Amino acid sequence: MFNRSCMANVGVKKELLKNRDRKQAEHLSYFFKTGKGQYGEGDVFLGIKVPVQRAVVKKFKDADLKEIQELINDPIHECRLTGLLILVNRYKTAEDKRKIFDFYLKNAKRVNNWDLVDLTAPNIIGDFLLDKKKERKVLYSLAKSKNIWERRIAILSTFTFLRNGDYKDTLKISEMLLRDEHDLIHKAVGWMLREVGKRDKAVEISFLEKYSKTMPRTMLRYAIEKFGPRERAFFMKK
């Protein structure tokens, strides 16, 4: 299985294979729900921790988009994540950031586990759209996607906006996803609402007063995680 993978970039392949850990791979396969019918069904792990992958990224930071594309296409989770992290690094120094933004969107369905989304979408999609409010409509299209990872990209990309004091799109997309059926979207929306509250609690409370009765309980629990016991009890019983 391992020898058929990561064929795209021989250097990256060798580095990742050198650090594989079969026991850790078993743990990650369970943690990322790779069983039949689960959200990560079919994903394959080498068992490499993120700090080790970041060291590989640093070593191969000059990989071109063709090499990154091959890594993103790979069935091995760590190959895809390493390729995407290289892409994030390339974006930071790129003169043509739109090219990388478009490349990421083209491959959105290959950003197909929650860690891949969370470690990359705010840094590319969110950063690119930070000063381009008229182009943020792409996030609303992603939020309507049948693909769970595109929906998660939509809400996680707004993390960059709210870090800069702009909550509007986070709240609008959260509203769109209130009736989403997937637990990973409930957690992502709840997390972003909690982040809004860290910066402006009144804004989060206003949203919760309107939607706490109808939002999924997991979403609500994530949103009020930093509230005091009385506030948590108040919203959970509404």
Task: Answer whether residue 7 shows pLDDT above 70.
Answer: no
Q: For 109-150, what is each residue's pLDDT tens digit?
A: 999 999 999 999 999 999 999 999 999 999 999 999 999 999
The reported pLDDT for the residue numbered 13 is: 78
Task: Answer whether residue 87 shows pLDDT above 80.
Answer: yes
Task: Answer whether residue 231 shows pLDDT above 90.
Answer: yes
Is pTM beyond 0.95? Reply is no
Residues 6+ apart with CB under 8 A from 237: none
**Structural domains of the chain sorted by starting position, each given as residue range(s) with its CATH number in brackets:** 1-93 (1.25.10.90), 101-238 (1.25.10.90)
